Homo-oligomer: A and B are copies of this chain.
Amino acid sequence: MRRPFHHGNLREVLLEQAEVMLRAEGVDGLSLRELARQAGVSHGAPRSHFIDRQALLDALAERGFDRLTERVVAALRDPGLDRERLRLVGRAYVAFAVENAALMELMFASKSNGPAGPVQEAAGRLFTVLDGGLADSAGDDTRERFKLLFAATVQGTATLIAAQRVTPEQGETLIDDAMEALLTSALGSQVLPGH
C-alpha cells in the first residue's frame, strides 16, 4: 500500500498542524515548508490550498474567530442571571485569549485581509453573537455602545495578560471589576436591568 498521491484532506491537516506550530513557536515560527514537511508532502503542495502564507494565516484567524464564538455561545447558554452571564462571557473570552495568545495576535492583526473578506466576516459573527446575547432591551444606539465597551474591556484585559503586564490571577479580578464597572455605568443600567 503505497502512499496515495493525493493526500485527501491536506488542507485540514495543514490547518491543524499550523495551529500546533503557532502555539509552540509563534507566528514567526510558522513556515509553509516546515508545515509541508510535517504533513509528508512536497514543499509546494500547500500552495494548492493557500495561495500564499497570508492566506494560511487568514484561514487560521477565521477559524480562531469561529472557535471563540463557540466559547462565547456556550457561556451565553448559562441559565444564570444576566449579571452572572456577563461575567461568564467575559471570563470565557479572556480565557480563550490566554490559551491562544498567538492566535489572538493573528485575529486582531490589522493586516488580516482588508475591510471585507472571510476574516472580517468571522469577526462579524462573533460580534453579532455578543450583541444578541448580551442585550435584549434598550435602543440600538445604547446597545451598540454597550457591546463595543464590553468588547474593548475584555479585549484589553486579554492583551494585558498576554503582554505579561497582568498575571492570570490578577486577570480574574480585573475581569470581574470590569464587568462590575460596565454594569454600574449608565449604559449598563439601560441595557441590563436589575442590579
Contacts and interface: CB of A to CB of B under 8 A. Distances in A.
Contacts of A159: 108, 152, 155-156, 159
How many copies altogether?
Answer: 2
Contact of A164 (B110, B153, B177, B184): B110
A163 interface: yes
Interface in A23-68: 26, 28
Q: Which of A164, A166, A170 has the most CB of B within 10 A?
A: A164
B110 A163 contact: yes
Contacts of A157: 152, 156
Nearest to A149: B177
A148 B165 CA distance: 9
A91 to B, nearest CB: 14
Contacts of A105: 105, 109-110
Contact of A163 (B28, B123, B174): B123
Interface in A124-180: 127, 145, 148-149, 151-157, 159-160, 162-166, 170, 173-174, 177-178, 180
B181 A185 contact: yes
Given A123-B163, A152-B160, 4 more contacts: A145-B177, A152-B156, A154-B156, A181-B184
A9 B115 CA distance: 41
A13 interface: no
